[in-house]
């Protein structure tokens, strides 16, 4: 446990959010009114109001006067970037696949590590650097941080047969992922990828949570001239 408990309105918010995300309160469900919730949590109505206002601002519920608050139909989001398996990615294009762990270090999370996992308090982490090769040529450089609090088994895993990403998929479920895609000029990593210094690379960062617990953060660097992310999709019926 960190230093102190979360603020009350955040606890209430989290409790309601949990019921919605778990499916206990399905879309369309009318949730208890502010006065009832205040009684339930033993607090003032204003405190509940703050929690519900935040949920409404984040689009989880919809509020109407008199009729009360209802759980909203979730917004259709394009699940474009799947948690991808680099081996599959490489073999799909018909090349041989190989990976190599270049660095491995278990440590207490540094300040930078905390930022990567978006946590406040340091936890034990495992830092890995891994090179993925296609047809014996560098394909992608992986820099990963795994929270050992979320995945204790990682500490004793050698990653001999399965690459970290593939191993993790089998080990822990995930509930939320955030992707960030940007273009960078290759720095020192350029030599590992056998590219000239300063060449354009695609950086894909992914942060994964299981429930509210951070699981892993990974940064994948792909040589830009050799790679592209492709996503194809069809929208579901919209209103």
Partner DNA sequence: CTGATCATTATGTCTATACATAACCAGCTG
Partner DNA sequence: CAGCTGGTTATGTATAGACATAATGATCAG
Residue 66 near DNA by CB under 7 A: yes
82: CB partners within 8 A, 6+ apart: none
Decide which of DNA, its own copies, none touches 69; Cβ closer than 5 to 8 Å per partner kind: DNA
Q: Measure the CA–CA gap between 160 and 141, rounded to whole angstroms.
A: 17
Of the candidate spans 30-38, 82-90, 190-198, 229-237, the one that interacts with DNA by CB under 7 A turns out to be 30-38
Q: Rounded to the nearest 5 degrees, what angle is found at the Cα of 172, between the Cα atoms of 171 and 175?
A: 155
Cβ proximity to its own copies: between 28 and 198 the closer is 198
Residue 65 near DNA by CB under 7 A: yes
Cβ proximity to DNA: between 43 and 81 the closer is 43
238: CB partners within 8 A, 6+ apart: 76
Ramachandran class of 121: left when φ > 0, alpha when ψ lies in -120 to 50, beta otherwise: beta
Q: Tell me 23's DSSP state.
A: T
Q: How far is the CB of 186 from its own copies (least distance, A)?
A: 8
Pairing type for strands 200-210 and 213-223 reads antiparallel
Token readout for 125 is 């982490």
Q: Which residues are near its own copies by CB under 8 A?
A: 21, 23, 54, 57, 77-82, 173-185, 198-203, 222, 224-225, 227-235, 237-238
Residues 67-96, mask of contacts with DNA (x by CB under 7 A)? xxx---------------------------
Residues that bind DNA (CB under 7 A): 3-4, 7-10, 33-35, 42-47, 49-50, 52-53, 56, 63-69
């Amino acid at each position: 446990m960190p230093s102190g408990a979360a603020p009350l309105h955040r606890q209430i918010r989290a409790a309601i959010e949990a019921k919605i995300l778990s499916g206990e309160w399905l879309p369309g469900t009318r949730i208890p009114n502010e006065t009832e919730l205040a009684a339930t949590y033993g607090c003032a109505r204003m405190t509940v109001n703050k929690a519900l206002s935040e949920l409404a601002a984040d689009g989880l519920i919809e509020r109407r006067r008199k009729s009360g608050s209802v759980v909203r139909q979730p917004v259709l989001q394009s699940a474009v970037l799947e948690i991808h398996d680099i081996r599959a990615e490489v073999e799909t294009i018909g090349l041989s696949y190989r990976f190599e762990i270049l660095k491995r270090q278990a440590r207490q999370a540094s300040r930078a590590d905390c930022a990567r996992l978006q946590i406040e308090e340091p936890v034990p982490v495992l830092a890995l650097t891994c090179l993925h090769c296609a047809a014996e040529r560098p394909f992608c450089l992986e820099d990963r941080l795994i929270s050992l609090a979320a995945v204790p088994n990682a500490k004793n895993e050698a990653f001999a047969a399965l690459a970290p990403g593939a191993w993790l998929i089998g080990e822990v479920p995930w509930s939320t992922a955030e992707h960030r895609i940007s273009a960078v000029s290759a720095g020192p990593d350029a030599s590992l990828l056998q590219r000239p210094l300063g060449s354009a690379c695609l950086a894909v960062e992914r942060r994964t949570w299981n429930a509210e617990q951070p699981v892993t953060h990974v940064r994948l660097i792909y040589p830009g001239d050799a790679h592209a992310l492709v996503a194809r999709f069809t929208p579901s019926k919209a209103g």
